[in-house]
């Protein structure tokens, strides 16, 4: 019997706690209807920096949001297991008369 398993979540890209916090903030505000310019202004006003220590611009907020969403979709996929080559060997056993 052969069993074929396809999984997408065996490896997760490294995402530190600060990056997770930024993504959560950006997602929360984006879901509330703010655009990325407004989000980046809020982050700057509240003392947040990009993961590389720069001042936030709307492109940074957009990039963090879209890249993580793509990652979640890619690594969150699920596949059905597929079983192939099922077979049984029948062996006739004739006892040795002794």
The domain limits of the chain are 17-82
The secondary structure of 49-69 as a DSSP string is --TTSPPP-HHHHHHHHHHHH
Q: In the chain, helix, strand, coil percent, each to 5?
A: 45, 5, 50
pLDDT in 10s for each residue of the chain, 98 residues: 677 767 666 666 678 899 999 999 999 999 999 999 999 999 999 999 999 999 999 999 999 999 999 888 877 777 777 777 767 667 777 777 66
Give the three-state DSSP class for 36. Answer: helix
Distance CA 56, CA 37 (A): 9
């Amino acid at each position: 019997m052969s069993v074929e398993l396809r999984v997408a979540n065996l490896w997760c890209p490294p995402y530190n706690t600060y990056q997770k916090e930024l993504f959560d903030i950006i997602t929360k505000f984006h879901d509330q209807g703010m655009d990325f310019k407004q989000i980046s202004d809020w982050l700057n006003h509240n003392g947040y920096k990009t993961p590389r220590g720069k001042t936030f611009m709307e492109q940074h907020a957009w990039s963090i949001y879209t890249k993580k969403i793509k990652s979640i979709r890619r690594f969150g996929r699920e596949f059905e297991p597929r079983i192939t080559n099922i077979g049984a060997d029948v062996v006739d056993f004739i006892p040795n008369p002794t």
